[in-house]
């Protein structure tokens, strides 16, 4: 997260700074280094994304095991209750509880699969944002290299300095939001279901 934030700030600084110093050798050198940095960052982010997806798959497998355990604990509890002499009302309540257990387990598994899909999509979106940042830097490099190249770039409405700065400014909060949403989803996965509550429920039965 810190790398992405720092990277966005660096791009904005370079974009705004290059408008007045496009012929500076130091700026040209910095631009080349920045492109090299993006190549490395894209590769590292791709590896981290795959690692995050694999870790999430393991986390979801563990969560599904907890769902299975919760379903089993509550099912056994309800079945034991059914073996007792129950009034019609109590029997209906136990049957209803069994039905809810099954429905909740199905819903929890569905949410876990949905969360895995979201994390997979969002981590790959971060790579897309990084690729877009590199595109902007390459365009800036063309602008910096020579006045002729710069004019060619600026003639393209997308690659005007103003549009490039606007694109970076738009993407920065998106990157932050995606990372925040990924963290929220991971936190939700760890909380499905609350095992302690299930154990208490078994003891009460």
Per-residue confidence (pLDDT) for residue 99, from 0 to 100: 74
Per-residue confidence (pLDDT) for residue 5, from 0 to 100: 43
Per-residue confidence (pLDDT) for residue 151, from 0 to 100: 53
Per-residue confidence (pLDDT) for residue 180, from 0 to 100: 78
The two structure tokens encoding residue 24: 């500076």
For residues 190 and 192, what is the distance between their CA atoms, to the nearest angstrom? Answer: 6
Which among 128, 138, 129, 131 has a CA at the least distance from the CA of 173? 129
- Residue 91, exposed/middle/buried by CB under 10 A (0-12, 13-18, 19+)? middle
Q: What is the DSSP track for 20-86?
A: T-TT-HHHHHHHHHHHHHHHHHHHHHHHHHHHHHHHHHHHHHHHHHHHHHHHHHHHHHHHHHHHS--
pLDDT tens per residue, range 141-182: 776 665 555 555 555 555 566 676 777 777 777 777 877 787
Lowest mean pLDDT among 18-27, 50-59, 61-70, 163-172: 18-27
The two structure tokens encoding residue 65: 């095991």
Q: Model pTM greater than 0.75? A: no
Tokens 């154990």 belong to which residue?
199
Question: Cα angle at 159 between 175 and 2, to 5 degrees?
Answer: 25
């Amino acid at each position: 997260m810190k790398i992405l934030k720092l990277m966005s700030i660096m791009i904005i600084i370079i974009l705004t700074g290059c408008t007045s110093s496009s012929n500076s050798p130091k700026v040209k050198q910095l631009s080349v280094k920045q492109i090299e940095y993006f190549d490395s960052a894209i590769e590292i982010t791709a590896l981290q994304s795959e690692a995050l997806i694999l870790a999430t798959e393991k986390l979801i497998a563990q969560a599904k095991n907890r769902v299975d355990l919760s379903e089993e604990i509550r099912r056994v509890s309800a079945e034991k209750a059914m073996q007792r002499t129950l009034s019609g009302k109590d029997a209906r309540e136990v049957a209803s509880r069994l039905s809810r257990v099954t429905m909740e387990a199905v819903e929890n598994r569905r949410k876990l699969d949905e969360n895995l899909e979201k994390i997979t999509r969002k981590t790959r979106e971060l790579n897309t944002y990084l690729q877009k940042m590199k595109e902007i830097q390459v365009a800036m490099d063309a602008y910096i290299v020579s006045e002729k190249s710069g004019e060619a770039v600026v003639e393209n409405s997308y690659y005007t300095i103003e549009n490039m700065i606007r694109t970076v400014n738009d993407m920065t909060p998106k990157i932050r939001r995606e990372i925040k949403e990924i963290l929220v989803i991971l936190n939700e996965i760890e909380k499905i279901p609350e095992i302690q509550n299930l154990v208490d429920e078994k003891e009460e039965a």
